[in-house]
Amino acid sequence: MTPQHAAKIFKNIFPRNPQSAGSITLWNGDQILFGDGQPNFSIIIKDARTFEDILSQPSLGFGEGYVNGSIEIVGHLSDALEWLYQNDIDNRLTPIQKARICWLHIKKKASLSQSRADVQFHYDKGNDFYKIWLDKGMNYSCAFFTREDEGLEEAQVNKIHRSLKKLRLRPGHKFLDIGCGWGSPLIEAVKTFGVRRAVGLTLSKKQYELGNQRIQEAGLSEKAEIRLQDYREVLDDEFGTYDRILSIGMFEHVGRENSELFFKTAARLLKNRGVFLLHTIGRTRKESMDPWITKYIFPGTYLPSLGELAGKAQKKGFDLVDVENLRQHYDRTLGHWAGRFEQNIDQIKQIMGEPERRMWLFYLHGCRMSFRYNPLHVFQLLFSKGRRHDWPLVREELYTS
């Protein structure tokens, strides 16, 4: 594809937008300006192949191009990504353009054999990496903000306390956290809510080690523990023993084929009339996953629709009590994470190479824009095992009791 043809396509799909000024510089040096005034950023595309990749699969093509250096951003990455998400390349191409780009993409794939470097996925990075940019409690999930100026540390504590209050957690309860991360909800369940026993499950050895260390340092080892265990490996003698179950940011990794088994197992572990809070990224309808995220960040990720979640839970004996959408809160959370990541970039560079650094930065900013402009949500669904008639009439009563 020639630079002239590329410029024509870009001008067609990106109309002038007075609210956002930017530019695209092509591999021959030609610059295309969009919006009014001085550009806030410039996207530099270094070769025609990268341009074709972007148009054939926008998220994957742009993400790979940014990570491997065939795309450079002058200015801030988040400004460029917000502009791209606002303009939605895929839905602006004409059928003729899509057909031509598809043909170019097939032709290229048939003539090239590329081996892609293995990418180290999320939890193999180790605790030192996450300590750099997460909050002190090491919470790697959506926070809850009560004020415009609230910081990440306070917002993550808010999220934990609101989640445990929704469960109506009480002294003497036995509490299970499926996918417990580094253990902050377990610690709070014992310290603040007085549960007699708190058990967390994780498949990450790093989380298991540090989480139990944190529990020991807090003097809670007699009441809390983290197991290196899958939810399907919990023994039968624990069925029907837990008063409350929490799962935050883990269901996305269960997979569509195991989703009903997950609800079945949770129901079997819970006492009758027990309460279960599920916190997960999801959608309002079935849609395909972002190809860049599934390839480089969360392979095997499954983001269910709200209807799927409610329907599959009901089939296993759960009654839906409450639903809350935290989408805007995740936008803010990701903004804090990206800001901390960039502020500590020298430490990050000591842990990983340049391609991985760019990959993580693209992931954090890209996910933020996805929650801002795409149909992604964060749902907190509250279930009871069997119907209960003693629930507060007003949600606020959960947080003031």
Instruction: Tell me the catalytic residues.
Output: 367
Residue 120 in tokens: 């180290």
CA-to-CA distance for 394 and 401, rounded, in angstroms? 12
194 contact partners, CB below 8 Å, separation of at least 6: 170, 171, 172
297 contact partners, CB below 8 Å, separation of at least 6: 121, 122, 359, 363
DSSP H helices, 222-326, are 259-269, 291-296, 306-315
162 contact partners, CB below 8 Å, separation of at least 6: 144, 399
Which 8-state DSSP code applies to residue 237? Answer: G
Residue 55 in tokens: 């148009």
Q: How far is CA 100 from CA 55, 103, 105, 339, in A?
A: 10, 5, 9, 39
Q: How far is CA 395 from CA 167, 273, 314, in A?
A: 12, 19, 21
Other CB atoms within a 10 A radius of the CB of residue 256 amount to 13
Q: What is the CA radius of gyration of the chain?
A: 23
129 phi and psi angles, rounded to 5 deg? -65, -50
Residue 232 in tokens: 């399907």
Residue 146 in tokens: 């009560």
Question: Rounded to 5, what percent of the chain is helix, strand, coil?
Answer: 50, 20, 35
Residue 90 in tokens: 């895929």
